Amino acid sequence: MPRYALLIEYDGGPFQGWQRQSETQPSVQGALEAALGRLHPGPHVVAGAGRTDAGVHATGQVAHVDLPRDWDPARLAGAINAHLRPWPVAVLACAPVAGDWHARFSARERRYLFRLVARRASPVLDRGHVWQVPGPLDLTAMQEGAAHLIGKHDFTTFRSALCQAASPVKTLDEITITETPVPGGTEYRFALRARSFLHNQVRSIVGTLERVGSGKWPPGQVKAALLAQDRTACGPVCPPQGLYLTAVGYPDAPFGLQPRQPPGP
């Protein structure tokens, strides 16, 4: 059966996450499989590169699916999108891949972006797409705290108790934090890159760094929390709505189209 890779964008707000659950709990995977079922009768399994949580968005999720016949990639993307309406999910690109290519296991890196807006007024246009805090944060302190997390570490402190990964040891290749003035305040963007992440790792890291930026933690406490290898040493886990899966990297780069960045400055 021909296998196709899909580059996918979605608003995670209406979903209980990527992974298919019960019929009463909508998922991104379930929406895609239902759309494919309207193209070809019978069950379909869409395998994703990352299982984003409820409320988490994506501008560069990648998945693959096996279909019973050959499709022109552009026509397949258009047909899936037609059957996805009105769900806030779109296939941005489609590419044929080898039968042993796997969206999850062939991936070499994943990139996430977290958007945090510091201002008093509610984020009306970005509601559901950013985490809002009331006061400004210290960018330099957060960057200093984040530096302790770069490299290969035991990330037990920043791992959900429900995480199913075989090991808490991961290599975090990059954390870049930037700030941009926005009307009424400042937007902070946290960009993280690694081959793979633990469950809730990004949200745990951002929540901890917000404690540093607000002055509640000194930057060195991030290192102490990491070395503790104890979930209770972590800062608060920030809410999901500011988190975006922005890219998944592969050695063969199946898509010519680059993932779109979230809106904002």
Catalytic residue list: 53
Pick from 39, 32, 41: nearest CA to 5: 32
Phi and psi torsions of 258, nearest 5°: -85, 140
- Nearest CA-CA partner of 182 in 144, 136, 140: 136
CA distance 230 to 228: 5
DSSP state letter for 23: T
Name the 3-class secondary structure at 224.
Answer: helix
Residues 6+ apart with CB under 8 A from 232: none
Q: Identify the residue whose tokens are 């985490």.
A: 131
Q: What phi-psi label fits residue 91: left (phi over 0), alpha (psi between -120 and 50 degrees) or beta?
A: beta
CA distance 213 to 210: 5
Which CA distances in Å does 114 have to 126, 132, 146, 226? 13, 12, 14, 20
Nearest 10 degrees: CA dihedral of 142, 214, 158, 177?
A: -30
- Taking the CA atoms of residue 16, residue 248, residue 194 and residue 182 in that order, the dihedral angle to the nearest 10 degrees is -70
Name the DSSP letter for residue 235.
-
